[in-house]
Amino acid sequence: MSLLSLQRSHLHLTWHTIALTILGATAITISAKVQIPFWPVPMTLHTFAIFLLSALLGPRLGVAAMLTYLGTGAMGLPVFSGSPERGIGLAYLAGPTGGYLFGYLVASGLVGWLAKGLGWLGCLTVMFAALGVVYVAGLAWLALYVPNSMLLAAGLTPFLLGDLLKVALAATAVSGANQFKGSLK
């Protein structure tokens, strides 16, 4: 293989990586803005999109998409759920939901790394564990804003049913994509 051929291959890989990262961050942004009526609180598709993308793209691109999303939000673009009404930029990241966003960053790497090639049950298990990471980070940060007696009622209970549903749907979509990919071989 010639040097020119290697350079072209690397350039193609670089643009491919950049495009997937930007598309992933865009999908996360759109999912954060979608509001679906649900009980007891409306839900976004944030968890679904982050876990789905991370499982399909792998840890490197999943984390890159999440970092791009967080970076654009930190710069002041209204990419977060409830922004610009609830604030933008670093002020939003330092607010009550900042821990959840950091938890999603860690979870995107875990899902991308551990869910690769797993069936539905394995993928579901990994995503449930990653959701636990999101809640631990989110609740730890939220404790700075909410009294301990109100913490679970404010940061876990209203969202748990919707998040469990989104995780099950993401695991199902990943499993279906893996089966489809396997049938093409």
pLDDT in tens, the chain (185 residues): 565 555 555 555 688 899 999 999 999 999 999 999 988 888 999 999 999 999 999 999 999 999 999 999 999 999 999 899 888 999 999 999 999 999 999 999 999 999 988 999 999 999 999 999 999 999 999 999 999 999 999 999 999 999 999 999 999 999 999 888 777 76
- Token pair in block for residue 141: 């940060």
Q: Cβ distance 110 to 133 under 8 Å?
A: yes
> How far is the C-alpha of 12 from the C-alpha of 20, rounded, in Å?
12
The three-state secondary structure class of 1 is coil
Please tell me the predicted confidence (pLDDT) of residue 9: 59
Please tell me the predicted confidence (pLDDT) of residue 8: 58
Q: How many CA atoms lie within 13 A of 10 on its CB side?
A: 7
Please tell me the predicted confidence (pLDDT) of residue 11: 55
Q: Cβ distance 94 to 141 under 8 Å?
A: no
- Token pair in block for residue 1: 């293989």
> How far is the C-alpha of 7 from the C-alpha of 182, rounded, in Å?
31
Q: Cβ distance 73 to 83 under 8 Å?
A: yes
> How far is the C-alpha of 90 from the C-alpha of 29, rounded, in Å?
16
Q: Which amino acid is at 125?
A: T
Q: Which amino acid is at 110?
A: L
With tokens 């995780």, the residue in question is 167
With tokens 């020119």, the residue in question is 4
